[in-house]
Amino acid sequence: MLGVVTGIGVVLAVLGAAMVALNLFVFSHTYNPSWWDDDVPVPETFVPASSSEIDELSVLSSVPGVLFLIAMCFISIGRVLRGGVGIALAQGPARGTVVSANTYLSPRAHLAWLGVALAFWIVLVPVPVILSLGGRWPATVSDATRDQVWVNLVLYGGLAAAIAGTLLVSHHKKQHYLALAAADNLRLDEPQREIWRWLTFRWRFDLWLGGSGGAFTGASFSALAYDHPAALVILLAIGIVLMVLGVLLARQYWRAELPLGLAESYS
Contact at 8 Å (CB) between 46 and 29? yes
In this predicted structure, the answer to whether residue 166 has a pLDDT above a threshold of 70 is yes
253 with 180, same domain: the answer is yes
Does the global pTM surpass 0.85? Answer: yes
Whole-angstrom distance, CA of residue 62 vs CA of residue 197: 35
Q: Confirm whether 145 is domain-assigned.
A: yes
Pairing assessment for the beta strands 47-48 and 30-31 based on DSSP bridges: parallel
Whole-angstrom distance, CA of residue 153 vs CA of residue 34: 26
234 with 198, same domain: the answer is yes
Instruction: Give the pLDDT confidence of 119-130 residue by residue, as tens digits.
Output: 999 999 999 999
Query: For the CA atoms of 169, 170, 172, 173, what is the dihedral angle to 10 degrees?
Result: 110
Instruction: Give the pLDDT confidence of 53-103 residue by residue, as tens digits.
Output: 888 889 999 999 999 999 999 988 888 777 766 666 555 444 447 777 788
Q: Which of 233, 210, 232, 259 is nearest to 100 (CA)?
A: 259
Indicate the number of domains in the chain: 2
Contact at 8 Å (CB) between 161 and 238? no
146 with 233, same domain: the answer is yes
Contact at 8 Å (CB) between 202 and 265? yes
Q: Confirm whether 267 is domain-assigned.
A: no
Q: Confirm whether 140 is domain-assigned.
A: yes
Domain that holds residue 238: 104-257
131 with 212, same domain: the answer is yes
